[in-house]
Amino acid sequence: MAFPWILESNFELGTNAEWTSSSDTGSKMDFPHFSTLSRYAGLPAPFRGAYVCRVQMGDTNDHTLISTSMTIADTATAYTRFYFYLGKDVVATADDTMNIFELQGTANAVENAIGLRFTASSGLIEIGVGKTAPTVFGPGLTLGRWYCVELTSVIQTGGTGTGTLFIDGTQVAQVTTLTNTAVLRGVLGTQDTLSTTTGTVLYDQFIFDDARIYAISQRWSLSPLLTKSCHVFVGPGRINAARLMAGAATDCVLSIFDTDNGVVLDASKCVLELKNTANSQMVASVNDSPIIVQRGCYVQLSGTNPRAHLDIKPMGAFGGDGSIRTYGSKRTPQPIAA
């Protein structure tokens, strides 16, 4: 297992900062804050944190993020996990098959892919796996819920490669006897869509590694183990303890900001800073008061091999358990934007 991961992307700065490049002709992809999502009926809170990657389908262009960190040599195995959401506005008026994730080799040839199949007459949307496009399909997906999507890719040039698809931890489809070459990059987003397939899809909590990642055990954890900068809750809450963990290098710094917005790291809103060479932990006790956060807790991790642990206590009517559902419910829903 890589430490922390070969690639981890939670979109928590409202950008595609962790990715090598992107393709978004027509500008259908963005990275909205939870307050933007909560304006529209039928869209959820991010799976975790305050930002997601969103694609508003409705044309034939590719809307993708590309990373050259996702490499798999011949005879090697790698694992991909991300959370995926189909908005309640998703509809296809013609049968359509599209890719939502690809592993690509030389000259961008697709070596393993996850995709969706839309059947217009029934409204059925199935998820599947294949070499260049999905050919073996699992269950139909329900609009308006998050799914944990995992792909195990065994790369073999001799025709014994496999791609195994898991949904919410259960194997649902597999392709075998793949003759695939070494993977040089990964591509996340919508590709090969018809303009008659419309609606909103969301991606969150993407990880690629050389060991299986599995699903997140608790969506809004009160005891999060962090390997990346992120929001641990939005709204008021209390932090009883924060510490840099074993494995983090001496240059690691943990900073906590009392703000919902991860882009604006305002020094005046910094409420705690821990350094691995000095004070590496804060524990509330007789001599140490807990940290009270009113607007939201954004944790910035920097340095080599960042790894930190927090102990959170809910506080107030809207809680501090990482959930932003209450904030969304306070807003007046509007129709989903076209």
Picking from 209, 240, 265, the residue at the C-terminal end of a domain is 209
| CA dist., res. 330 & res. 32, Å (int) | 18
Q: In the chain, how many domains are there?
A: 2
- CATH number for the domain including 77? 2.60.120.200
Residue 99 falls within a domain, yes or no?
yes
pLDDT surpassing 70 at residue 194: yes
pLDDT class of 324 with cuts at 50, 70, 90: very low
Is there a single domain that holds both residue 11 and residue 158?
yes
> When comparing pLDDT for 323 and 280, which is higher?
280
**How confident is the model over 50-59, as a mean pLDDT?**
95
Residue 279 falls within a domain, yes or no?
yes
pLDDT class of 42 with cuts at 50, 70, 90: low
pLDDT surpassing 80 at residue 29: yes
- CATH number for the domain including 236? 2.60.120
Q: What is the mean pLDDT of the chain?
A: 89
pLDDT surpassing 70 at residue 118: yes
Is there a single domain that holds both residue 154 and residue 229?
no
Q: What is the pLDDT of residue 173?
A: 98
Q: What is the pLDDT of residue 262?
A: 81
Q: What is the pLDDT of residue 287?
A: 55
Structural domain including 150 reads 7-209
Q: What is the pLDDT of residue 284?
A: 67
Residue 338 falls within a domain, yes or no?
no
Inter-residue contact 88 to 141 (CB < 8 Å): no
pLDDT surpassing 60 at residue 320: no
Least confident of 47-51, 168-172, 254-258: 47-51
**How confident is the model over 267-283, as a mean pLDDT?**
86
The predicted model scores a pTM of: 0.92
Is there a single domain that holds both residue 15 and residue 158?
yes
Each residue of 227-257: pLDDT tens digit? 999 999 887 888 999 999 988 889 999 999 9
Q: What is the pLDDT of residue 178?
A: 96
**How confident is the model over 260-284, as a mean pLDDT?**
84
pLDDT class of 265 with cuts at 50, 70, 90: confident
Is there a single domain that holds both residue 52 and residue 165?
yes
Q: What is the pLDDT of residue 327?
A: 47
